[in-house]
A = this chain, B = another copy of it.
Amino acid sequence: MVIVMDHNATEEQIQTVMQRLEAAGYRAHLSRGVERTIIGAIGDETQLGDAGIEMLPGVANVIPIMHPYKLASRIMREEGTVITIGDVEIGGETVQVMAGPCAVESKEQLFEVAEKIRASGARILRGGAYKPRTSPYSFQGLAEKGLQLLAEAREKYGLLIVTEVMDPRTLPLVAEYADIIQIGTRNMQNFYLLREVGRYQKPVLLKRGLSATIEEWLMAAEYILSEGNPNVILCERGIRTFETYTRNTLDLSAVPVIKHFSHLPVIVDPSHGIGKFRFVPPMAVAAVAAGADGVMLEVHPNPVEALCDGAQSLTPKKFAKTMRQMAGVARAIGRKM
């Protein structure tokens, strides 16, 4: 980190900072400028901390210069992580599609979607059994019954399943059923839940928090990785801004940024990011163009009757069309689908 001293800092204040840094384990380099004195502190900030420097007299500002994540950093693994589940690879050459309803509502609903998305080429079925809802009066999911239906659909249609866990107490159950465990946007900084999924080896789909910086998102991944689970898939799903014509603002630039700073695979969920079905297909296609390793899409046989998020769900027919467009763009940029 770099410490900028006040323009009128005394020599004694400067020495106090130097001594404190060195006592904390840093090597301190002093640079006296015409206007300001700055001190460079060389050492592992993630281990040594900030040493309380910011509160010392004469200190104007403390600027961290290293990224706080280590295991999630591309430096750890230049070639990029590929997560393999059966014959499905996430983070490899093929762009993977995860599709399905917001919530599992019934066997009929789920199986119809499962059949259709499989026919369109998707390999992973999404569906919520436990639903985080803004209102306590909204449908909260079928719980274990929903997990069972997902497992049945997996068998019948040859799909993998991804479903959300919201509570450490139900994690063992969810982990028993799911191929990929989803951590939702509202739980991105539920650190106890992160640690718990870190103790499994099952792949974890970690959605970006609604107002999380990319750095905080990678730090949330770091929680999982630091417990021993290397199988983390990041999922951009829109951030909160002042714009009101869309539900959120889908930050597609997170894709190349993540690819640069981290080795982890990253996918995009335009359904939640946009929130209006008519704008989802072009953004799904754009996500592939931006370099995403996968796309997650909400598909419902009859969005008008959906118990959850119908307004952002595609019909199976629109989904099939979107699949064809995504595949065309994947080929154009040298990937498969």
Contact = CB atoms under 8 A, between A and B. Distances in A.
Interface of A: 2, 4, 7, 27, 29, 31-36, 38, 40, 42-44, 46-47, 49-50, 52, 54-56, 61, 63, 65-66, 68, 75, 132-138, 166-169, 186-187, 189-192, 195, 210-211, 213-216, 219, 222-223, 226, 239-246, 249-253, 255-257, 260-261, 273-274, 277-279, 282-283, 285-291, 303-306, 310-311, 325, 328-329, 331-333
Contacts of A169: 168-169, 192
This chain's copy number in the assembly: 4
B311 A215 contact: no
B38 A33 contact: no
Contact of A215 (B7, B44, B189, B245): B245
A33 B135 CA distance: 22
Contact of A43 (B33, B55, B333): B33
Given A33-B43, A215-B245, A283 B277 contact: no
Contacts of A278: 256, 260
A257 B274 CA distance: 10
B286 A55 contact: no
A63 B274 CA distance: 17
Which one of A38, A68, A303 has the highest number of Cβ atoms from chain B below 10 Å of its Cβ? A38
Contacts of A332: 325, 328-329, 331-332
B274 A136 contact: no
A6 to B, nearest CB: 9
A75 B222 contact: no
B329 A289 contact: yes
27 contacts: A32-B42, A34-B42, A34-B44, A35-B66, A38-B40, A46-B135, A52-B310, A55-B310, A55-B311, A68-B134, A132-B191, A133-B191, A134-B189, A134-B219, A136-B195, A136-B219, A166-B190, A187-B190, A211-B240, A213-B242, A241-B241, A243-B251, A253-B283, A260-B279, A282-B290, A286-B289, A288-B289
Contacts of A273: 253
Given A29-B31, A134-B219, A333-B328, A243 B239 contact: yes
B55 A245 contact: no
Given A4-B65, A135-B222, A311-B55, A329 B333 contact: yes
A137 to B, nearest CB: 5
A43 B35 CA distance: 8
